Structure 1
Amino acid sequence: MNHAPMHIVEDNPPPATHAPGQQHPIKVYLQVWGYLFVLSTMSYLVDYFHLQGALRWTLIITFMVLKAGLIVSIFMHMAWERLALVYAILVPPLALGTLILLMSIESGYTFWTRVIFLGGGG
């Protein structure tokens, strides 16, 4: 006597939520293009209104990072990738950026230590 479990076989299984080669709706791309246009306009307005100093560079870099994030996530399809792949691509540049920031802080400390104690900047 065979006691194997009985399986129900469906003739038409439901489609996968993300099949290989699936096309995303054009609406997503049009929205991202709109956002990129708005961010580019805002970046242009920073120069148009002659903003200067830290405010200028903070705004320019913020708009640049937002535009790059949109491009990477939507046009390079990173929003639909596995989390491990996203980490493999994004963590190394973030780690390098952190190290560059720490080195620039250290270089300022070294420069001012030399100015104060040695009387010159080299």
Structure 2
Amino acid sequence: MEHGQQHPVSLYLKIWGLLFVLSACSYLVDYFHVQGALRWTLIMTFMLYKAALIVSIFMHLAWERLALACAILVPPLCLLVLISLMAYEADYIHTARGTYFTAPAVETGGQAQRP
């Protein structure tokens, strides 16, 4: 794009309509009482699509140079990797504590009881 060139209003209206459709789909997930992992997968997918549209079109990242796009997108991606590593470690610690720090069962008359 040339410097100072404006984008057509129809582009913004199409993106606004697509954001509306994605928001409606996200609402329908709750309306139809989708449960479990499918619910969270759908909600997160719709959320990521909406965020990508907003960042690329309304924040003009789709027309920026690669260096600026990487400067904006790489730090949040690094944070997501670090958060997932911490969640994995927390799950391991929780499991290890349950394995090694539980009180042993005490035998009393043929039945095992916890102190």
TM-score by length of 2: 0.85
- Choose from 35, 49, 55 the match for 1:52: 35
- Choose from 3, 12, 17 the match for 1:34: 17
Number of aligned residues: 103
The offset of 1:72, in angstroms, is 0.4
CA distance in 1 between counterparts of 2:84 and 2:55 reads: 23
CA distance in 1 between counterparts of 2:92 and 2:38 reads: 24
The offset of 1:25, in angstroms, is 1.4
TM-score by length of 1: 0.81
1:102 is matched by which residue type in structure 2? L
Query: Which runs of no fewer than 5 residues in structure 2 stay unpaired?
Result: 104-115
Aligned residues with identical type, % of pairs = 64
Structure number with the higher strand fraction is 2
- Choose from 47, 51, 71 the match for 1:64: 47
1:117 aligns with 2:93: no
Query: Which runs of no fewer than 5 residues in structure 1 stay unpaired?
Result: 1-17
* 1:27-75 deviation line (CA, Å, top 9, x unaligned): 2111111110110110010011011111111111111110010000000
* 1:6-34 deviation line (CA, Å, top 9, x unaligned): xxxxxxxxxxxx22221011221111111
Compare CA radii of gyration and give the structure with the larger one. Answer: 1
CA distance in 2 between counterparts of 1:119 and 1:59 reads: 38
Q: Which runs of 4+ in 1 moved over 3 A?
A: none
Q: 1:71-110 residue pairs with structure 2 within 5 A?
A: 71-110=54-93
